[in-house]
Amino acid sequence: MNILVINAGSSSIKYQLIDMNTEMPLSSGIVERIGLEMGLIKHKTFLNGSEEKTVEEFPIPDHGVGLKRVAELLTDEKVGVISDPSEIQAVGHRLVHGGETFTKTVEITDEVKAKVKELFPLAPLHNPANLIGVEVAEKVFPNAKQVGVFDTAFHQSIPEKAYRYAIPEKFYRELRIRKYGFHGTSHKFVSEKAIEYLGNPDAKIITIHIGNGASMAAVKAGACIDTTMGMGPLSGLIMGTRSGDIDPAIIFYLAQQKGFSVEEISDLLNKESGMKGLTELTDMRDIEKCQREGDPVAILALEMYAYRIKQYIGSYTAAMNGVDAIVFTAGVGENKTTVREMVCEDMDYLGITWDEEKDKNRKGDVHEINVDGAKVKVLIIPTNEELEIAKQSLALIK
């Protein structure tokens, strides 16, 4: 059983072909610069323990041309991993926003596509591109079932007291303004791994997905009860270029007193803030290097970054009346020792500790980095959103 996972953006397509018998990727890659003068495909194949890379640069006017070339590479005589596109039984699509309509994985039908279109206003940068990916895949892989996995679905178990905003009810009733949350596929994947590791289906877990985008989730007995991102992906943690939580009065001040347009404020908070705004750097490796060299700007930025995470750990521990484990995942969470150390520092009241030697000597899919005998497990669990999408797709079509 081969499942192709697609994440289509406005000018890109990320993909991974997974052999579900082994749950290992056969191929992965990205199509970039779609619609520009010259496009780019970076394609990898994984066979017999070796990795082979193919890089191609040529005009890619639309997603159809890009995905068609991906299908050709997957079946190529030299670098191909399958003999025919019909060997792909399903295409699992990452769909960012499912609103309140989609609470679980679905087979994509004309009705589903129409509903996704209705949700365009909630995710204008993502849902239209995601839907293009679906429509192109239907043509390139006509024999495969098309499956939609929504970023927001895992968070649909959040209770109303947590997802509603304290604004007039008509804005929820008529415009569906509420917290939806994102990174749900990742939070689901790592929380299930943590539950399995703890051997406790009723475990209270806080998942910390920190990469360029960042969010946290409170997961109780396998169900999400709260998350840091809201109606959009701007709120919550400090991120690579996003501000995270901010006083709304700042927006009014910039607009009314300083003449900023809505577009300028959006660009400021989404693209020019976060760690980039604080340090003028976007790579956490560079920021950590500056911190080690004593740069006060980098020191403050990392302190703010860790402090925001700690605030939410305290909040979610209160919401769940306890915590059994916290989980670090995604690019920063999995790889940045400094961040993990700073987050766990002075958290002993909650039973959260950090062991430097354990952190340095990582092994296995689930790695425990707390002090022996600690009340709360501190875990590093690499996320695998593509595999989670493939697993959900397989479960649906079986």
Q: Detail the residues annotated as belonging to a binding site.
A: 7, 14, 94, 209-213, 283-285, 331-335, 385
Report yes or no: 9 and 30 within 8 Å, Cβ to Cβ: no
Distances (CA, A) of 178 to 156, 174, 232: 11, 11, 9
Of the residues 19, 76, 110, 151, only one is catalytic, namely 151
Coil, strand or helix at 374 = coil
Active site residue 151: yes
The binding site for Mg(2+) consists of: 7, 385
Alpha helix ranges (H) inside the chain: 63-74, 110-118, 127-140, 160-163, 169-175, 184-198, 248-252, 262-271, 274-279, 284-292, 296-320, 330-335, 337-344, 356-360, 385-397
Sheet of 13-19: strand order equals 50-58, 39-47, 24-32, 13-19, 2-8, 88-95, 145-150, 106-107
For tokens 């940045």, the residue is 336
Coil, strand or helix at 134 = helix
Give the whole-angstrom CA distance, residue 320 versus residue 309: 16
Report yes or no: 98 and 176 within 8 Å, Cβ to Cβ: no
Report yes or no: 150 and 122 within 8 Å, Cβ to Cβ: no
Q: Active-site residue numbers?
A: 151
